[in-house]
Amino acid sequence: MIVKNIAFIGAGNMAGAIIKGLIEGGYPASAIRATTRSDTSAAKAAAALNIEVGTDNVQAARWAEVIVLAVKPQMLKDTCQQLTSALDQQLVISVAAGIDTQALSQWLGEALAIVRSMPNTPSQVGAGASGLFANAKAKAGDRAFAQQIAEATGLCIWVEDEALMHAVTAVSGSGPAYYFLFMEAMIEAGTSLGLSPESARALTLQTALGAAQLAGKVDVPVDELKRRVMSPGGTTERAIHAFEQGGLRPLIQQAMSDCAARSQALAKELVQPTEETR
Ligand X SMILES: NC(=O)C1=CN([C@@H]2O[C@H](COP(=O)(O)OP(=O)(O)OC[C@H]3O[C@@H](n4cnc5c(N)ncnc54)[C@H](OP(=O)(O)O)[C@@H]3O)[C@@H](O)[C@H]2O)C=CC1
Ligand Y SMILES: O=C(O)[C@@H]1CCC=N1
Residues that bind ligand X (CB under 6 A): 9-15, 35-38, 41, 57, 70-73, 75, 79, 95-97, 118-121, 173
With contacts defined by CB under 6 A, name the span among 57-65, 159-167, 169-177, 204-212 that binds ligand Y: 169-177
Contacts for 105-114 with beta carbons within 8 Å, 24 or more apart? 105/135, 106/271, 106/274, 107/76, 107/77, 107/80, 107/81, 108/80, 108/83, 108/84, 109/81, 109/84, 110/84, 111/137, 112/87, 112/137, 113/137, 113/138, 113/139, 113/142, 114/138
Q: Are 86 and 9 in contact (CB under 8 A)?
A: no
| Closer residue to ligand X in complex, CB, 11/66 | 11
| Closer residue to ligand X in complex, CB, 58/240 | 58
- Residue 97 found at the interface with ligand Y (CB under 6 A): yes
Q: Are 107 and 83 in contact (CB under 8 A)?
A: no
| Closer residue to ligand Y in complex, CB, 58/171 | 171
Least separation in angstroms between residue 108's CB and ligand Y is 21
Nearest residue to ligand X by CB is: 12
- Residue 52 CA to residue 29 CA, distance in Å, equals 9
| Residue among 10, 54, 128, 173 that touches ligand Y (CB under 6 A) | 173
> Beta strand pairing status for 66-69 and 128-134?
unpaired
| Closer residue to ligand X in complex, CB, 54/190 | 54
Nearest residue to ligand Y by CB is: 173
| Residue among 79, 124, 169, 204 that touches ligand Y (CB under 6 A) | 169
CA angle 209, 213, 218 (to 5 degrees): 155
Give, as one character, the DSSP assignment of residue 276: T
- Residue 119 found at the interface with ligand Y (CB under 6 A): no
Give, as one character, the DSSP assignment of residue 169: I
| Closer residue to ligand Y in complex, CB, 214/252 | 252
From the list ligand Y, ligand X, none, pick the one residue 96 interacts with, judged by a Cβ distance below 5 to 8 Å according to partner type: ligand X
- Residue 21 found at the interface with ligand Y (CB under 6 A): no
Least separation in angstroms between residue 177's CB and ligand X is 7
- Residue 44 CA to residue 183 CA, distance in Å, equals 29
- Residue 79 found at the interface with ligand Y (CB under 6 A): no
From the list ligand X, ligand Y, none, pick the one residue 75 interacts with, judged by a Cβ distance below 5 to 8 Å according to partner type: ligand X
Question: What is residue 53's three-state secondary structure?
Answer: strand
Contact positions vs ligand Y (CB under 6 A): 97, 169, 173-174
